[in-house]
């Protein structure tokens, strides 16, 4: 039996570059820097920058009763999912609710709800936190709320694998369609990391940049955290064609591995194996790939390790493939990062534009790739891959192709 083909028919998003997928892509093409001063009360934080949301609607249209049970990550996941559904053109009578589901990745959980519960009990002396703190905090809540909002009654669950969560959500959704469990899946990631508690914890790791996110640049000094969400509508090719959908791209391959080495320090072998697995699953060779959206966090260990992994897999083709890290613009949105980067990969194929790695000032001899410094570049793109390598040594890579 032939394997089900899986296509992308809708995209939605919100992050520092804008309140919808179109604005996000425009920001990427323009090389817009979404980093700025933190808008939250920073108290004793030493780091004062982040990539906060822009373009949040004045009225998000979420039912007041449902809103009471939602943390911010669930709200932005629903906003992104609604946009993706609208672009896909899917109406309620276009699909079987029992064969449509939602998988949303998060790197942490509803941290804003956790922080507020601590303030309520320990600072303000309340007897108990908010009634719905538990459902607000659940890592699986964004997927549940997307399913509730859009009437999706098929496979619904959350995925959490730190910074690879978005790609793991896409891969899990692809599996549901390939296995014949669903015709339509909404998948992606959501994260609200610019909250005092998580920021204080990340600050302790000493990996946060003080001025800007500079992936692959010799003077990089760390990552910049961001808030955001992005959701894609995935369908079986047959389902999309039967309803006359506008297909944006096809997910042709996926690859997953674990480093089994260290909880925070990446290996070369794990990411390299994930890329090889992805290429093998797609049935393509490394020299067919036109663009790599790198994990590219702007930490010394990640950028150099990813460069070595790409060179190990791509060989001589590593000199001609275009690479960039859009995290330089929208920040590291943890579980939502690779979901937001799906917007870059799909539109690179559709428009023939490689989004840049901004804030690049000086080459690092150990990051000797064509990282598309500072300005977007026109290039015909038929195949892209998106890398996501996370704490825990979990690696997830997705390949997309022009249809």
Q: Which one is catalytic: 51, 295, 330, 333?
A: 295
Structure tokens given for 384:
């892209």
Strand pairing category for 377-378 and 249-258:
unpaired
Phi, psi of 147 (to 5 degrees): -65, -40
| The two structure tokens encoding residue 383 | 């195949």
The token pair at 328 is: 């330089």
Q: Reply yes or no on whether 163 is catalytic.
A: yes
CA distance 165 to 155: 17
Partnered with residue 156 across adjacent β-strands are: 102
Encoded tokens for 77: 């996941």
* Residue 295 known to be catalytic: yes
Residues 36, 49 contacting (CB under 8 angstroms): yes
77: Cβ–Cβ under 8 A, 6 or more apart, which residues? Answer: 104, 142, 143, 145, 146, 188, 190, 229, 231
Q: Which of 163, 213, 278, 345 is catalytic?
A: 163
Task: Give me the catalytic one of 35, 330, 332, 345.
Answer: 332
- Cα distances from 358 to residues 90, 212, 300, 339, in angstroms, run 36, 10, 17, 20
Query: For strand 156-159 and strand 100-105, is the pairing parallel, antiparallel, or unpaired?
Result: parallel
N- to C-terminal Cα separation, the chain? 21
Catalytic residues: 163, 295, 332
């Amino acid at each position: 039996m032939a394997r089900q083909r899986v296509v992308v028919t809708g995209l939605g998003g919100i992050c520092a570059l804008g309140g919808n997928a179109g604005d996000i892509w425009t920001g990427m093409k323009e090389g817009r820097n979404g980093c700025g001063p933190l808008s939250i009360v920073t108290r004793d934080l030493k780091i004062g920058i982040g990539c906060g949301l822009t373009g949040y609607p004045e009225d998000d249209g979420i039912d007041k009763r449902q809103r009471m049970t939602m943390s911010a990550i669930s709200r932005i996941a629903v906003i992104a999912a609604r946009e993706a559904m609208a672009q896909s053109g899917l109406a309620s009578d276009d699909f079987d609710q029992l064969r449509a589901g939602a998988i949303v990745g998060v790197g942490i959980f509803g941290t804003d709800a956790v922080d507020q519960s601590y303030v309520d009990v320990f600072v303000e002396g309340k007897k108990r936190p908010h009634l719905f703190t538990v459902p607000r905090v659940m890592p699986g809540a964004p997927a549940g709320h997307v399913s509730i909002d859009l009437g999706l009654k098929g496979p619904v669950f959350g995925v959490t694998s730190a910074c690879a969560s978005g790609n793991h959500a896409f891969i899990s959704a692809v599996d549901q369609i390939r296995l014949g469990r669903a015709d339509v899946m909404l998948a992606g990631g959501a994260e609200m990391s610019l909250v005092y508690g998580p920021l204080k914890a990340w600050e302790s790791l000493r990996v946060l940049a003080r001025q800007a996110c500079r992936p692959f640049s010799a003077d990089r000094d760390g990552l910049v955290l961001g808030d955001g969400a992005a959701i894609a509508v995935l369908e079986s090719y047959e389902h999309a064609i039967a309803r006359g959908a506008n297909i944006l791209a096809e997910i042709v391959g996926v690859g997953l591995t674990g480093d089994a080495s260290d909880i925070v320090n990446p290996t070369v072998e794990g990411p390299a194996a994930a890329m090889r697995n992805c290429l093998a699953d797609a049935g393509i060779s490394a020299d067919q790939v036109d663009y790599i959206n790198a994990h590219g966090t702007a930490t010394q260990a990640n950028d150099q390790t990813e460069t070595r992994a790409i060179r190990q897999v791509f060989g001589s083709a590593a000199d001609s493939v275009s690479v960039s890290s859009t995290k330089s613009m929208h920040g590291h949105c943890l579980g939502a990062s690779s979901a937001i980067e799906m917007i870059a990969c799909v539109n690179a194929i559709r428009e023939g534009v490689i989004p840049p790695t901004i804030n690049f000032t000086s080459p690092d001899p150990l990051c000797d790739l064509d990282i598309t410094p500072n300005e977007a570049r026109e290039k015909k793109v038929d195949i892209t891959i998106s890398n996501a390598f996370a704490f825990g040594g979990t690696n997830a890579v997705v390949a997309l192709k022009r249809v």
